[in-house]
Amino acid sequence: MKQYINNSMTFGEYTALLDRLLDEGLTTGTKQSEEMLHYARMNRQRMHRLEKTAVVNDELKGSLKKVSQKMIWLVITEGWCGDAAQNVPVIEKMAAENINIETRYVLRDEHTELIDRFLTNGARSIPKLIAIDAETLEVLGTWGARPKEAQSLYDELKVQGADKETIMERLQRWYNADKNQAIQSEFIELVNVWSSSERVSLAA
């Protein structure tokens, strides 16, 4: 994990990269097209909104403040990803509750060998958060690529044969209605597990 942490970005560096690329008419990743650029611009706007409006609830704050060991939350992401736009700002808000939790960001398409170690149902789904002990670099667990309820909706739509636009629209409606509560509920449990000896992934 050390090489990925060494080559990772802070949240500020990640968002600065997104903004610089958008100014150049580009996005992150290997696929560059008007469609991908459209998604990237739309999702950057969502990130801006959530950076301002997302609030960590009191129960999760309590769990986060109990973390006494130093952790790195390494997040695999891309600028065009809708799920990343919805979840990354919330992850950043959560980590900010405790100085012992540091977030770092890497791009999926630049580190395919990393995401291939943390697939979601066999897919390179993002964002994927890898919780790491900052001293031993032991992987404590993972989360992603989306809250369990959203993942169930995604899986159901895929089975039904829904097209990409329909899936994206339905997921966006789900996120709007959920208001970041599902991810926070899941992290209450995850943070408690990651901070204990019972270190397993509850949301692979």
Residue 151 lies in a domain: no
Residue span of the structural domain in which 118 resides: 2-146+180-194
CB atoms within 10 A of CB 148: 14
Residue 154 lies in a domain: no
Is the pLDDT assigned to residue 203 strictly greater than 60?
no
The pTM score is 0.92
Q: Which residues contact 31 (CB under 8 A, 6 or more apart)?
A: none
Residue 153 lies in a domain: no
Q: Which residues contact 203 (CB under 8 A, 6 or more apart)?
A: 142, 143, 144, 148, 186, 190
In this prediction, residue 50 carries a pLDDT of: 96
What does the block give as tokens for 77?
A: 């992401």
Is the pLDDT assigned to residue 198 strictly greater than 50?
no
Residue 86 lies in a domain: yes
Residue 106 lies in a domain: yes
Residue 203 lies in a domain: no
- Residue 81: give its domain's CATH number: 3.40.30.10
HSE on the CB side for 77, CA within 13 Å?
Answer: 36
In this prediction, residue 19 carries a pLDDT of: 98
Query: Are 126 and 84 spatial neighbours (Cβ–Cβ below 8 Å)?
Result: yes
What one-letter code names the amino acid at 47?
M
Q: CA 109 to CA 115: how far, in whole Å?
A: 9
Place of tokens 């044969």: 161
Q: Share the mean pLDDT of the chain.
A: 94
In this prediction, residue 30 carries a pLDDT of: 87
Per residue in 81-126, pLDDT (tens digit) is 999 999 999 999 999 999 999 999 999 999 999 999 999 989 999 9
Residue 44 lies in a domain: yes
In this prediction, residue 195 carries a pLDDT of: 86
Q: How many domains would you assign to the chain?
A: 1
DSSP β-ladder status, 128-133 and 139-144: antiparallel
Question: Is the pLDDT higher at 11 or at 164?
Answer: 11
In this prediction, residue 204 carries a pLDDT of: 37
In this prediction, residue 48 carries a pLDDT of: 96
- 71 beta partners: 101, 133
Q: CA 47 to CA 139: how far, in whole Å?
A: 27
pLDDT grade for 188, boundaries at 50, 70 and 90: very high
CA neighbor of 29 nearest in space, from 127, 110, 115? 110
Residue 94 lies in a domain: yes
Average pLDDT over residues 12-25: 97
Is the pLDDT assigned to residue 182 strictly greater than 90?
yes
Per residue in 34-66, pLDDT (tens digit) is 999 999 999 999 999 999 999 999 999 999 999
In this prediction, residue 202 carries a pLDDT of: 40
Is the pLDDT assigned to residue 201 strictly greater than 80?
no
Query: Are 91 and 191 spatial neighbours (Cβ–Cβ below 8 Å)?
Result: no
